[in-house]
Amino acid sequence: MELYSNVIGEGRSFIILHGFLGMGDNWKTLGKAFGEQGFEVHLLDQRNHGRSFHDEAFNYEVLVADLKHYCEVNNLRDIILLGHSMGGKTAMLFATEYPELVSKLMVADISPRFYPVHHDRILEGLSSLDFSELASRGEADDQLAKYVSDFGTRQFLLKNLYWVEKGQLGLRMNLPVLKAQVEEVGEALPMHAKFDGDTLFLRGDKSEYISLEDESIIQRHFPKAKIETVSNAGHWLHAENPEEFYNYVIDFIK
């Protein structure tokens, strides 16, 4: 089974992997901007997300295998690889397992370490959406607001809404499997995993996902890693300060 992708632009292969509960579409604006700089940008939906296939198996090994298959089918080599959050974990593991395929690695606001589950409230809120009763995006937002107070986070989550058929809303993600396997999302990079290629870690200055203690862990797995901080940005740094994020990425890949 192949991952769904939206391909923008022409030039060097540049793959972008979204975070947990997201989709490639979250990256469309930046994808277009990168595409205009001479890159063929592949915005992927990882399994159980967006328009990609649903499957009971969900962990970083299978996410990496999906990406490897995608590269083989599309004859992609020497790729630039960027991943945010969960996508960053997929990207890290992929680069350590297939270093010959990756020319440059970028990881947005996640470290190789273990993270405890912290999406409980969001998953509870999404599970509470009863589409036999909810008839509009506004009604879904009102319901989700009982669990998720932050407007921006709700807008991000509600991008998953779509019309299954006339008058019938649904979620694109495979919520039952993502709920059941949520522990997998925080898994650490294997102890001996290492990538010696050019690597850039970007963190939001208001985010706690990459701490000072994480810097030594990053250097151990990625000896060439540079760590930069995007100002006025939390965990969704690419959405909160896209201009600065874009500049760091372009400087690194050009």
* Residue 235 among the catalytic residues: yes
**Alpha-carbon separation of residue 233 from 29, 203, 209, 215, 236 (angstroms):** 17, 8, 12, 19, 7
User: For this structure, is 85 an active site residue?
Assistant: yes
| Residues ≥6 apart with Cβ < 8 Å to 146 | 125, 128
Q: How far apart are CA 232 and CA 46, in angstroms?
A: 28
The active-site residue out of 52, 85, 111, 207 is 85
**Choosing from 49, 221, 235, 238, which is the catalytic residue?**
235
Strand pairing of 5-8 and 39-44? antiparallel
Instruction: State the chain's maximal CA–CA distance in angstroms.
Output: 53
In the chain, what is the straight-line distance between the N-terminal and C-terminal CA atoms, in Å? 33
Instruction: Report the sign of the C-alpha dihedral through residues 108, 111, 112, 113, in that order.
Output: negative
Q: How far is CA 87 from CA 94, 114, 121, 141, 167, in A?
A: 10, 15, 21, 26, 33
Measured between alpha carbons, how far is 91 from 226 in angstroms, rounded to an integer? 16
User: What 3-state DSSP class applies to 62?
Assistant: helix
Q: Rounded CA gap, 79 and 33, in Å?
A: 18
Q: Which residues are catalytic?
A: 85, 235
